[in-house]
Amino acid sequence: MSDRKSSQPADAIADAAIVSRSPSILTAEVDGEIVMMSIEQGRYFGLDHIGSDIWKRIEPPCTFATLIDGLAADYEADRTTIVTEVQSLLDHMAKHDIVRFR
């Protein structure tokens, strides 16, 4: 259950939500994929090719709608699938303070 307050489903990210990288995460690119380290949590995370592409697209921060529009233009998947998958990834990342929404 999300703590976001809106008329959208509990885990929905609003189109106008600004998605940004957390400043506390250290990153490096290894063989085209992003490896991240949270100094505060003492944990590391890895992103596959598509996750790495999403990470690159949120610097500078952008709206969720802009992110989805760019991905829909570049990947052969229907928009609903892209929204669902990206939302799931970003929600997981937000729980670990890798990304933030405002």
pLDDT digits (tens, 9 = 90+) for 37-87: 998 889 999 999 999 999 999 999 999 999 999 999 999 999 999 999 999
Q: What is the pLDDT of residue 18?
A: 98
pLDDT in tens, 12-51: 999 999 999 999 999 999 998 999 999 888 999 999 999 9
The CATH code of the domain at 18-101 is: 3.90.930
* Domain residue limits, the chain: 18-101
Pairwise CA distance, residues 89 & 62, whole Å: 16
Q: Which two tokens stand for residue 1?
A: 């259950």
Give the global pTM. Answer: 0.86
Residue keyed to tokens 């990834």:
89
Separation CA 73–CA 68 (nearest Å): 9
pLDDT of residue 32: 86
pLDDT at residue 11 in the model? 67
H/E element, 85:
helix 79-95
List Cα–Cα distances, 76 to 49, 71, 72, 79, 80, in angstroms: 15, 9, 7, 9, 12
